Structure 1
Amino acid sequence: MSGVIEKVKTGIPGFDDLLYGGIPKRNIVLLSGGPGTGKTIFSQQYLYYGLVNGEPAVLVALEEHPVQIRRNMASFGWDVRRFEEEGKFAIVDAFTGGIGEAAKRERYVVKSVDDVSELIDVVRQAIRESKAERVVIDSVSTLYLTKPAMARGVLMQLKRVLAGLGATSIFVSQVSVTERGFGGPGVEHAVDGIVRLDLDEVDGELVRSLVIWKMRGTKHDMRRRPFDITDKGVVVYSNKVVKLKGIFYRVEEGGSSEQ
């Protein structure tokens, strides 16, 4: 049926409600936030939900050793080794440069992250061989911190490859605590959606919240919603709203995502 946009469920409790069912298929979403806001957990939870529901996935690791990633995912009960053995999940190691004993056992290795064409070739190979439908790049900040002027071009190249191969992707983007933007010059124009995760002090306590700034192809919730990180991952409270009072936030009941 034409005109109906296919959606990809993130599987993150409460979050899909804010997108009226999920991320439009083939969209590239920039998941942006400061340190400790939960970006990596959010993106890995999205991949794992896909894996257990028969959607292969690829994680491009630019900031962490693949061994550490597997360990961190397992701590939430997301054991990806079985999916790797079945060829349904692949980690692209763009972190170690192939150096070290553990790195020698990795199947997909980018020797030089500065070589954008090599990175794209290895990512393309991993997606094709695993038939990945979900891709996470953690984090794209690594790509544009070294070459800010090229940031948008690099993201556009990646976007073409990922969307062309049918993947629905999350680009993790680091921003400093005080920065209210999304990270990188012109990066927000190269993506289809932007979700911003924040960690703010409210009455002496740290409160996690998120806002969907944009999402091409679907209507979306426009309010700041609180979320938690539990031992099973991220949980979004789509029935609560975090209100800004001057420079203070307040969490309130109500403000349902059904507008």
Structure 2
Amino acid sequence: MGLDTMLSGGLIENSICALVGTYGTGKTMLALQFAYEGLSRGEKVIYISLEEREEHLRATMAQKGWDPGAFGDRFYLLKLDPTDFNLAINSIKNELPALIESTGASRVVIDPISLFEGLFEDESERRREMFRFVEVMRDEACTLVLTSETRPGNPEESRYGIIEYLADTVILLRYIRSPGLTEVHLVIEVVKMRRSAHSREIKPFEILQDGILVHSEASLF
């Protein structure tokens, strides 16, 4: 798809990618598309949701014509309650690496990681725990996608401003208005991608019935 063109072929295997955007910009849709493409290639995928209920995610996939049930035990869709601090912390920090190793999953999604970050009230503790978590995940043979809401008042930064520094790739999704303020467009930008000569252009994209389409050859206006 067009995003792969912007990424010079796609995400680097076994890297960590952050999808950052405000509400309604398609973060979850793009994460689901990443998961589905892996499943279609015969890979095993773990999708951890801290926000959407499992049945809602499956319904969204069905609306796109994707049948997660067709992949059997290659697709692990888990819903965690972020209000249960101990369960959420333990599941992501301690149980996820073991689950990856036992299932052989090559793609993992946490949607959104910002809710996990918000479990830590102290900023220094948040940074320390996120750094430790990312370091643990780097030892796993999987490509990790983390979604994050943006910081209030700043549509170009993740809610806590941490994952941009920890991730290998940062993809920003946001709205822009046309010069005449008559239209609102969804745009995507590869802000950062280690070990790759990625595109630095801002491109428009659409959320379609069967997924997200990035117009990598188009100009904004």
Same topology, TM > 0.5: yes
Deviation at 1:111, TM superposition (A): 6.7
Which position in structure 1 is the counterpart of 2:208? 230
Q: Find runs of 4+ consecutive structure 1 residues off by over 6 angstroms.
A: none
Render the CA deviation track for 1:151-181: whole Å, top value 9, x for unaligned. 3333333323333221111110001564132
Task: State the alpha-carbon separation in 1 of the partners of residues 66 and 133 from structure 2.
Answer: 27
Larger RCO, structures 1/2 (Cα 8 Å, 6+ apart): 2
Q: How does 1:183-202 map to 2 (within 5 A)?
A: 183-202=159-178
Q: Is residue 23 from structure 1 mapped to residue 11 from structure 2 by the alignment?
A: yes
User: Aligned partner of 1:18: which letter?
Assistant: M
User: Aligned partner of 2:118: which letter?
Assistant: L
Task: State the alpha-carbon separation in 2 of the partners of residues 162 and 75 from structure 1.
Answer: 32
Which position in structure 2 is the counterpart of 1:69? 57
**Equivalent residues of 2:190, 2:199 under 8 A apart:** yes
Number of residue pairs the alignment of both structures matches: 216
Q: How does 1:12-161 map to 2 (within 5 A)?
A: 13-83=1-71, 85=72, 87-95=73-81, 112-113=87-88, 116-147=89-120, 149=123, 150-161=125-136
Deviation at 1:230, TM superposition (A): 0.5
- The alpha-carbon distance between structure 1 residues 121 and 189, as it changes in their structure 2 partners (threshold 3 A), is same
**Which structure carries more helix by proportion?**
2
Task: State the alpha-carbon separation in 2 of the partners of residues 25 and 161 from structure 1.
Answer: 16
Task: State the alpha-carbon separation in 1 of the partners of residues 98 and 209 from structure 2.
Answer: 33
User: RMSD over aligned Cα, in angstroms?
Assistant: 2.1
**Structure whose alpha-carbon radius of gyration is higher:** 1
- The alpha-carbon distance between structure 1 residues 135 and 118, as it changes in their structure 2 partners (threshold 3 A), is closer
Task: State the alpha-carbon separation in 2 of the partners of residues 131 and 138 from structure 1.
Answer: 20
Deviation at 1:96, TM superposition (A): 7.8
- The alpha-carbon distance between structure 1 residues 126 and 66, as it changes in their structure 2 partners (threshold 3 A), is farther
**Structure 2 counterpart SS, 1:171:** strand
Gap regions ≥5 residues in structure 2: none
Gap regions ≥5 residues in structure 1: 1-12, 99-109, 243-250, 252-259
Which position in structure 2 is the counterpart of 1:255? none
**Structure 1 counterpart SS, 2:207:** strand
**Equivalent residues of 1:194, 1:213 under 8 A apart:** yes
- The alpha-carbon distance between structure 1 residues 129 and 70, as it changes in their structure 2 partners (threshold 3 A), is farther
Task: State the alpha-carbon separation in 2 of the partners of residues 181 and 217 from structure 1.
Answer: 22
Q: Tell me the TM-score normalised to structure 2 length.
A: 0.89
